[in-house]
Every structure is written in structure tokens, then in C-alpha cells.
Structure 1
Amino acid sequence: MKRFALIGAAGYIAPRHMRAIKDTSNELVSAYDINDSVGIIDSISPQSEFFTEFERFYDHAWRLNRQPTTSLDYVAICSPNYLHQPHISAGLRLGCDVICEKPLVPTPELLDELAQVERETGKRVFNILQLRHHQAILNLKEKVAAEGTARKHDVELTYITSRGKWYMESWKGDQRKSFGLATNIGVHFYDMLHFIFGKLQRNVVHHNGESKAAGYLEYEKARVRWFLSIDASDLPESVKGKKSTYRSITVDGQEIEFSEGFTDLHTVSYKEILAGRGYGLEDARHCVETVNTIRSARIVPPHNDEGHPFLNGFVR
């Protein structure tokens, strides 16, 4: 049984980590969040210690790690994006391996800094890149690999996940903390595209606003038009009033069904990490580089057929 601590226990994604720890027969020893709305712990790991001050959490973890019988094995990080790098470093320096949510960090330079801390501590960082474990994505990767590189596939990625007014008032709406919409809700999709279609060759941004972003990516094996949004008005008419989220990936005009099977992917990710097959810093580098470029790219209007169809209907 491995012993875990968790940073960011009150966030949206934290329960998936708590359940993954429990479902892999491990123990959540302690948790930390500045907010105390963490009642979910009662139904998953009621014995866990809980702290609302990082100093007390860190001191508790340090004391545990002074004794082999009580030491922590992993720190799981679900804190706001801008805190990932310092929290990862803190976990490594406690003598723990670290499992961190996406986006791991915003820039390649911070990846290099974390690699240095890994070397100093002898511990490792693992990123949750859950779509790499989705069976529909694995099937598509296998199919694309079997076809070779004779042609590039035409891909259209659309992800609309409606958010209320609270979103812009939270840290997620602050680009200094979330690093923008494409980074916050898109980074694992860019990782998925790289996972399936190879190295990125072009990265063009057509729109990058507070509630939506769009652009064109060209990989070794694909041309991708992408559109991300948190605006419910962007939902297709067939979905409005029925669902608040719309995910679609088409490859050469054929829809890839991957809307189901998301909720268990964190547990699968944990199983792979615990078995020594987790995704580390270098695995995350490609998607970190992609979102870093998107944030700083000059906005250009789409030309030829590179614009996503959902670009029509709002001013670019």
C-alpha cells in the first residue's frame, strides 16, 4: 500500500484523484486546500488529515517522512495551474514522487527547472495525460500507425464545455493563473493529437479570447482545425438544452466516438504510474510547447480551408 498526500483537495478534479488512490488500494494520508469545502473526503478517505495552511501541511508531511514507517510515497497535485511548479518542487523535496494534473507547467523552461529538481532529489514527476489511455484514442492511434505516413489526415476537433459567470471570477478566468483557455481546457487534447499524429510542424492561431479559441495545427500525419469554447451559445442546435458539453473529433469526415469512458481514466493513469509506466516530464514537453506557442502567437485570419467551421458567427 502506497501512502499519498494531496494538494488542492477542494477543486473540481480532486475527487477523481481521491477515488483513484482508493481504487488502487492505496491510502490518502493527508490533504491540503485553502478552501474547506472538502466534504467529499468523508465518502472516500475519512481518516485523512486535512489542512488549510500550506505551512502546516508541509510540516506534517516532513514529520511523517522522518520515519520509514510513516513516510509518504506520492504527492498528488490538483491545485490551480500557476501553483503546479512550486507544489511539484515541494513534493519532490519532501522525498516523494509527484502526480500532477494538466497542464503540468506553462513553459518548456519550467519543465527544465523541474528536471533539475528531479536530478537533485532522485524522485520523479508524472503528468495525468488521461486521453492516452482512452480505448477509442488507442484504437485510432493504432489505425493511423498502420497506414504509415503516405498521406495526412484531415481532422476537426471541437470541444465546447459550458461555464457560467463564476468561471471568469475564479482563478480559471485569470490568464495569469490559468494561462488562458487553450491551456486550461485544451492542453490534453493537444497531447492527444501529438500522441496519435506525431510531431507538430505548424501552429497557427485564428482566435484567442476569454471564452473561445481556435486555430490550425499541422502534424506529421494530420491537418487539424480546432475550436475550444466555454460559451453555451456555441453549442450545436442538436445539443442545446440537452447537454452542456459537446466533444467531437472527426478524422477524414468520420466521427470518432470518445464521449464515454472519461470518468475512470484517472484510475487507469494511477495504475500505470504505480506499475512503472507513467508519463513524465519529457512526455509532457510537446503539449507544453504547443500551448506556450498558442499563448504568444500573433492572431491571423484563416486562409484556404484551415479555419474551423465554428469560427463563422463571431468576429475574429
Structure 2
Amino acid sequence: MRRFALTGLAGYIAPRHLKAIKEVGGSLVAALDPATSVGIVDSYFPEAAFFTEPELFEAYLEDLAVRGQGVEYLSVAAPNYLHLPHIRMAFRLGADAISEKPLVLWPEEVENLKAWEERTGRRVYTILQLRVHPSLVALRERLLKEEGPFEVLLTYVTGRGAWYLKTWKAEEAKSGGLATNIGIHFFDLLTWFFGEAERVEVHARTPTVNAGYLELKRARVRWFLSIDPSFVPEPWRSQGKRTYRSIAIDGEEVEFSEGFTDLHTEVYRKTLAGEGFGLAEAREAIRVAAEVRTLPLKDPTPEVRHPFLR
């Protein structure tokens, strides 16, 4: 049985990690969160030790390691700005890290982690779940057989309530802003499909909407990202849906709003099998997201403007 610890137990995404650890046959030894609304753990690992202070959490795991009972993996589901120090904690404990995305906020932090991997012999993996979504895997396989460049229209609306703007997720220094906290999903998808970004334009950047234009090695992409559910088009909105994810490639639309239930578990399975997504896979999307949140805004010309920009 693989032994895990987890940071960020009270967070939104923690239940998916708990479920994944359970379903791959793992055991949760200990968990960390400054908040104590963590009763969800009883549904998975009621015997897990729990800490609200990172120093006590790390000391407990160090003591277990000395006795030959240390953890093999530290799963990191804490707020984004804590990913880097928690991954480094995993390395100090002699464990590999499995971190939520964004793995880190800045490209130079990827290079820092690469140096830490070389220094410690440990590895860091990340949850790039769109890369195991069956319909997207099939689409990529098809695209690789075709010549580009492709014309792409990507729309990614994932509705969030008023609470979102009151949390660390809306603080750019802690989350990386909308482009990183949520946009990292589709920046990874696009660069996985079409290669590195050679041109980046930003046309809108507010707390609830980001939009812009990318030229990748094999595609030209107009993209739109929002957490405002009013952008969900009909008939989805009339059905009570608050999420709309669509990618149109040369006019052919691929709608992928469904099929996300078990993707964390599949990424965990791949990671434990030695096929996880590491620094090399995470690097380009982190670079693009960092540019999107720092580049000056540019007025879009009609040919590069996303139609949702009003």
C-alpha cells in the first residue's frame, strides 16, 4: 500500500485527491490545513493524523521516516502560492510530490524545482487531467496526423459564485489570477495539442474575464475565459448548467463539458505507474499564463478577436 500525505485538506479540490488516493489503493497517513472544516476525510481515511501547522505536520512525517514508515508521496492541494514550498517539503521528507495545477506561478520556479529534483533525486508530478480526458486524447491523436496551422476558437466558461472574489483565488499574488488559477487548464491543452506559443496577445483582463490570441507552432487561437456563468450560451444555461467548454478547430466544434468525474484518479494511476506529468509537461503552460497576466493589453483586430468579447 502506497503511503500518502496531503496538504490543503479543507480546499475545494481536496476531495478529488482523497478519492484518487483511495481508488489507487493508497493510504493517507497525515493531512495539513490551517482551516478545520475537514470532516470530508472521514469518508476516506478517518485514521489519518491531522495538523493545522506546517511545522508540526512536517515534524510528524520526519519522525515516521526515521522509523522507516515515511510517506512515498506528498499530495499538494493547498493554495497556488504554497505549491512551491510544499513541494520542497516533500523533497526534504524523501518523498515525491503530486501537485495540483498550476504547479507553480512563474517559469523560473520550474527551473528551481528542476535543480531540487537533481539535488534530491525526488520527482514532482502535476495533475494535468485534460491530458487523460478520452475525447481530448482521441482528438490530439487525430490532429497529429494532420497538417497545420489550424484555426482555433476556444471558449472556457466555468461558473463561480460571489464567494470566489472574496478568497485567495482572486488575489493575483496568491493564485496567479484568472489566467493561472483556471486558464492553466486550457493553456496546457492548447500547447499539448499544437506546440509552443510563439506570439501572445491579451485583449481583456478583469477579475472575471480574460481573453486574447495565441499563435502556436501549429495553430492560431482566439480564446476566452470567464468565471461569469452569464457567458454560458443557450441551451446550456436554460438547462441550469454553469459550465461551458468548447474548442472549435477549423470550424469543427468539440464540446468537452462532460467526462471530468474520474480524471484525478486516472492521473494518479499514471503517476504511480511511472507515467506521470512532470516539469517538462508543465513548463510551457506556466510560461504562457505568466505572460497573459503581465503583458500590456492590446486592442484586438477583427481577425483575432474572440466573438464573446463585447
The TM-score range, normalised by the shorter chain, is: over 0.9
Within-5 A mapping of 1:111-126: 111-126=110-125
Counterpart of 1:134 in structure 2 is: 133
| SS of corresponding position for 2:308 | helix
Identity %: 50
Counterpart of 1:101 in structure 2 is: 100
Shift of 1:307: 0.7
Counterpart of 1:233 in structure 2 is: 230
Counterpart of 2:31 in structure 1 is: 31
Quick check: 1:174–1:180 contact (8 Å CA) kept in 2? yes
Counterpart of 2:84 in structure 1 is: 85
**More deviation, 45-54/265-274:** 45-54
- Across the aligned residues of Structure 1 and Structure 2, the Cα RMSD in angstroms comes to 1.1
Counterparts of 1:175 and 1:199 in 2: how far apart (Å)? Answer: 24
Q: Which amino acid aligns with 1:244?
A: R
Counterparts of 2:207 and 2:16 in 1: how far apart (Å)? Answer: 27
Counterparts of 1:212 and 1:75 in 2: how far apart (Å)? Answer: 33
Q: Which amino acid aligns with 1:171?
A: W
Shift of 1:24: 0.4
Quick check: 1:172–1:178 contact (8 Å CA) kept in 2? yes
Shift of 1:239: 2.7
Shift of 1:46: 1.2
Shift of 1:233: 2.4
Shift of 1:240: 2.7
Counterpart of 1:61 in structure 2 is: 61
Shift of 1:304: 3.6
Name which of 284, 290, 293 aligns with 2:291. Answer: 293
Shift of 1:238: 2.5
Within-5 A mapping of 1:144-183: 144-147=143-146, 149=147, 151-183=148-180
Counterparts of 1:232 and 1:260 in 2: how far apart (Å)? Answer: 16
**More deviation, 93-102/248-257:** 248-257
Long gaps (5+) in structure 2: none
Counterpart of 1:206 in structure 2 is: 203
Counterpart of 1:49 in structure 2 is: 49
| SS of corresponding position for 2:36 | coil
Quick check: 1:118–1:124 contact (8 Å CA) kept in 2? yes
Counterpart of 2:216 in structure 1 is: 219
Counterparts of 2:220 and 2:179 in 1: how far apart (Å)? Answer: 18
Counterparts of 1:238 and 1:259 in 2: how far apart (Å)? Answer: 13
How many residue pairs are counted as aligned between the two chains? Answer: 309
| SS of corresponding position for 1:214 | strand
Counterparts of 2:176 and 2:189 in 1: how far apart (Å)? Answer: 19
1:157-211 per-residue CA deviation (whole Å, 9 max, x = no partner) reads: 1111222221111000111111110111010211111111112121111011111
Q: Which amino acid aligns with 1:281?
A: L
Counterpart of 1:246 in structure 2 is: 244
Counterpart of 2:270 in structure 1 is: 272
Counterparts of 1:43 and 1:190 in 2: how far apart (Å)? Answer: 34
Counterpart of 2:190 in structure 1 is: 193
Counterparts of 1:101 and 1:171 in 2: how far apart (Å)? Answer: 16
Counterparts of 2:235 and 2:295 in 1: how far apart (Å)? Answer: 33
Counterparts of 2:123 and 2:7 in 1: how far apart (Å)? Answer: 17
| SS of corresponding position for 2:5 | strand
Shift of 1:20: 0.6
Shift of 1:124: 0.4
Shift of 1:140: 1.0
Shift of 1:259: 1.9
Q: Which amino acid aligns with 2:306?
A: H
Quick check: 1:136–1:257 contact (8 Å CA) kept in 2? no
Counterpart of 1:263 in structure 2 is: 261
Quick check: 2:243–2:257 contact (8 Å CA) kept in 1? no
Q: Which amino acid aligns with 2:276?
A: G
Q: Which amino acid aligns with 1:46?
A: P
Q: Which amino acid aligns with 2:49?
A: E
1:235-262 per-residue CA deviation (whole Å, 9 max, x = no partner) reads: 2242335111111111112221322221
**More deviation, 83-92/226-235:** 226-235
| SS of corresponding position for 2:183 | helix
1:126-170 per-residue CA deviation (whole Å, 9 max, x = no partner) reads: 0111111111111111111111x3x31111111112222211110
Counterparts of 1:303 and 1:89 in 2: how far apart (Å)? Answer: 44
Counterparts of 2:230 and 2:256 in 1: how far apart (Å)? Answer: 23
1:28-47 per-residue CA deviation (whole Å, 9 max, x = no partner) reads: 11111011111111111111
